[in-house]
Amino acid sequence: MTPIRFAVFGLLPMLAVGLAQASSVYSVHVFATGSAVGATGPDSVSFGDNSLWIEYQNNAVSTGGSGSSTIVRYSPSGTIEHTWSIAGNVDGLKVDPSTGLVWALQNQDGNSALTIINPATNATTPYAYGNSYTNVPNRGFDDIVFLNGQVFLSETNPVSGADGIIVRLTSGLNSPLQISPILTSTYTGTDLATGALSSTTITDPDSLKLTPSGGLALTGEADQEITFVQHPGAANQTESFLHLLGTNGQPISGDPDDTIYPTAAGGFFYFADTGANTIYQVTATGLAPGSVYIDVGDEFGILNTSNGVVTPIFTGNSPHGADFVSFADSGVPEPASAGYLIAGLAALAALTLFRTRGSAPSAQ
- The tens digit of pLDDT for each residue in 74-93 reads 999 999 999 999 999 999 99
Task: Calculate mean pLDDT across residues 278-297.
Answer: 95
Beta bridge partners of 362: 315
Q: In this structure, is residue 363 part of a structural domain?
A: no
Q: In this structure, is residue 223 part of a structural domain?
A: yes
SS3 349: helix
Q: In this structure, is residue 118 part of a structural domain?
A: yes
Q: Residue 341 sits in which domain range?
A: 11-355
Look at residue 19 and tell me whether its pLDDT is greater than 80: no
Q: In this structure, is residue 197 part of a structural domain?
A: yes
Q: In this structure, is residue 324 part of a structural domain?
A: yes
How far is Cα 323 from Cα 270, in angstroms, rounded to an integer?
5
Q: 293-307: per-residue pLDDT in tens?
A: 999 999 999 999 999
The CA-based diameter of the chain, rounded to the nearest angstrom, is 62
Q: What are phi and psi of 32, to 5 degrees?
A: -160, 165
Q: What is the mean pLDDT of the chain?
A: 88
How far is Cα 78 from Cα 162, in angstroms, rounded to an integer?
44
Task: Calculate mean pLDDT across residues 141-148.
Answer: 97
SS3 317: coil
How far is Cα 92 from Cα 114, in angstroms, rounded to an integer?
10
| Length reported for the chain | 364
What pLDDT shows up at residue 361? 52
Q: 204-258: per-residue pLDDT in tens?
A: 999 999 999 999 999 999 999 999 999 999 999 999 999 999 999 999 989 999 9
| pLDDT tier at 49, thresholds 50, 70, 90 | very high
Q: Answer for the pair 24, 334: CB distance below 8 angstroms, yes or no.
A: no
SS3 287: coil
**What is the total count of domains within the chain?**
1
pLDDT above 70 as % of the chain: 86
Weakest mean pLDDT among 12-21, 24-33, 53-62, 100-109: 12-21
How far is Cα 286 from Cα 301, in angstroms, rounded to an integer?
15
SS3 348: helix
- Cβ atoms within 10 Å, residue 136: 8
Look at residue 340 and tell me whether its pLDDT is greater than 50: no
Q: Which residue has the higher pLDDT, 351 or 328?
A: 328
Look at residue 181 and tell me whether its pLDDT is greater than 60: yes
Q: Answer for the pair 53, 68: CB distance below 8 angstroms, yes or no.
A: no
Q: 24-34: per-residue pLDDT in tens?
A: 899 999 999 99
- Cβ atoms within 10 Å, residue 91: 29
Q: Which helix (H) or strand (E) holds 57?
A: none
CA-nearest of 271, 281, 285, 292 to 333 is 285
Q: Are strands 51-56 and 197-201 parallel, antiparallel or unpaired?
A: unpaired
**CATH number of the domain that 89 lies in?**
2.120.10.30
The dihedral built from the CA positions of residue 310, 315, 317 and 323, taken in this order, carries a sign that is negative
Task: Calculate mean pLDDT across residues 149-163.
Answer: 98
Look at residue 15 and tell me whether its pLDDT is greater than 80: no
Which residues are CB-contacts of 63 (< 8 A; sequence separation ≥ 6)?
107, 109, 110, 111, 138, 140
Q: 246-270: per-residue pLDDT in tens?
A: 999 999 989 999 999 999 999 999 9
What pLDDT shows up at residue 332? 74
Q: In this structure, is residue 362 part of a structural domain?
A: no
How far is Cα 224 from Cα 205, in angstroms, rounded to an integer?
10
What pLDDT shows up at residue 27? 94
What pLDDT shows up at residue 364? 53
Task: Calculate mean pLDDT across residues 95-124.
Answer: 98
What pLDDT shows up at residue 289? 87
| pLDDT tier at 283, thresholds 50, 70, 90 | very high
What pLDDT shows up at residue 334? 72
Q: In this structure, is residue 29 part of a structural domain?
A: yes
Q: In this structure, is residue 166 part of a structural domain?
A: yes
What pLDDT shows up at residue 23? 80
Upper half-sphere CA count for residue 80 (Cβ side, 13 Å): 15
How far is Cα 244 from Cα 256, in angstroms, rounded to an integer?
8
